[in-house]
Amino acid sequence: MLIRTYIPKMPLSMLVDYFWYMEAYNPTHSRELTLPDGSAEMIIDLGEDVIRLFDRNNHELVFGHAIVCGPHSDYFVINSTSESRVIGIHFKPGGIHPFLKERIDEIHNTHLPLHALWGSRISGLRDELLDSLVPEKMFRVLERRLLSLAMKDLERHPAVQYVLSNLHGCQIAEIIEQIGISHRRLNQLFRKEVGMTPKRLSRIYRFQEVLRNIHSGENRSWTHIAVDCGYYDQAHFIKDFQSFSGLNPGDYNPILGRHYNHAEIFT
């Protein structure tokens, strides 16, 4: 398996975690669990003409070769039997907002064909990527084309940016007091630019911290992980884990060589 990543230059680096490329990924499992981190993703399959996904209700979703995954607080499942050569953009939470006509909360927990959002503006993108031959050139194509898709100012609302910068390890009530706007107003701004409320994103961040703890390989009890990640007790931890993954913590099986947001499903 070959994986390459690239962090774009400013100003895109304010909005994008990284571009990524993967090829020769041929797992033995046919389905792969994808766990939420609150961000959006653009995915272009360079080998197949169809992308197949399954939602948390096991409904199959069939798309063409390019999709946008809106900001997710739900898990979904990838059909991994044909995932052989893929490139994508992993946005930071709220990072896709400047590139949308719609409010970002309208695509929360949603998958859409790429052309449904950007129409003819992305015409020829896949062919241009295929002509580039190597990942490094593909990343430059994506960087240039993404900048051309901006429909709004690339700067976030100051209150949204402040919350995103301070949400790890802080209580939302404390943050609201510091920025001096109402809880209702902050929720409105956050849904518009990030796709969900600060409270939901905070829960996802805590869940992601659990995954990092598990993925570290340290032999730690669930109780210690739950306490260190800020859960009231083990029951609270298990309930949240099940909500975001559909699994009990002991059934989480990260895939070697993949990001910890990807887990094997035994079928």
Query: CATH number, domain at 205?
Result: 1.10.10.60
Q: Give yes or no: residues 60 and 162 share one domain.
A: no
**What's the number of CA atoms in the CB half-sphere (13 Å) around residue 234?**
7
- Domain with 231, as residue range(s), is 199-264
Sheet containing 60-63, strands listed edge to edge, beginning at the edge strand earlier in sequence? 60-63, 51-54, 76-79, 31-34, 262-264
Which of 244, 229, 224 has its CA nearest to residue 169? 229
In a domain, 244, yes or no: yes
The DSSP H or E segment spanning 173 is: helix 172-179
Q: Give yes or no: residues 182 and 211 share one domain.
A: no
Q: Does pLDDT of 18 surpass 60?
A: yes
In a domain, 255, yes or no: yes
Domain endpoint, select from 84, 113, 148: 148
Q: Give yes or no: residues 69 and 143 share one domain.
A: yes
Query: CATH number, domain at 10?
Result: 2.60.120
- Per-residue pLDDT, 116: 92
DSSP, collapsed to helix, strand or coil, labels residue 199 as helix
pLDDT single digits (tens) 115-137:
999 998 898 999 999 999 899 99
Whole-angstrom distance, CA of residue 185 vs CA of residue 158: 13
Contacts of 177 (CB under 8 A, 6+ apart): none
Q: Which residue has the tokens 């109780």?
A: 223
Which of 41, 84, 77 has its CA nearest to residue 60? 77
In a domain, 189, yes or no: yes
- Per-residue pLDDT, 259: 84
Q: Does pLDDT of 83 surpass 70?
A: no
Q: Give yes or no: residues 190 and 218 share one domain.
A: no
Looking at the DSSP assignment, which residues form a beta bridge with residue 86?
A: 22, 45
Q: Does pLDDT of 267 surpass 60?
A: no
pLDDT single digits (tens) 159-188:
999 999 998 877 888 888 898 889 999 999
The dihedral through the CA atoms of 210, 216, 217, 220 has a sign that is negative
Whole-angstrom distance, CA of residue 234 vs CA of residue 44: 39
Q: What are phi and psi of 126, to 5 degrees?
A: -65, -40
Residue 14 near residue 67, CB atoms below 8 Å = no
Q: Does pLDDT of 220 surpass 80?
A: no
Q: Give yes or no: residues 16 and 144 share one domain.
A: yes
Q: How confident is the model at residue 221 (pLDDT cuts 50, 70, 90)?
A: confident
Number of structural domains found in the chain: 3
DSSP, collapsed to helix, strand or coil, labels residue 159 as helix
In a domain, 153, yes or no: no
Which of 245, 246, 224 has its CA nearest to residue 234? 224
Burial class, 66, CB count within 10 angstroms (exposed 0-12 / middle 13-18 / buried 19+): buried
Q: Give yes or no: residues 206 and 173 share one domain.
A: no
* Residue 266: other Cβ atoms inside 10 A: 7
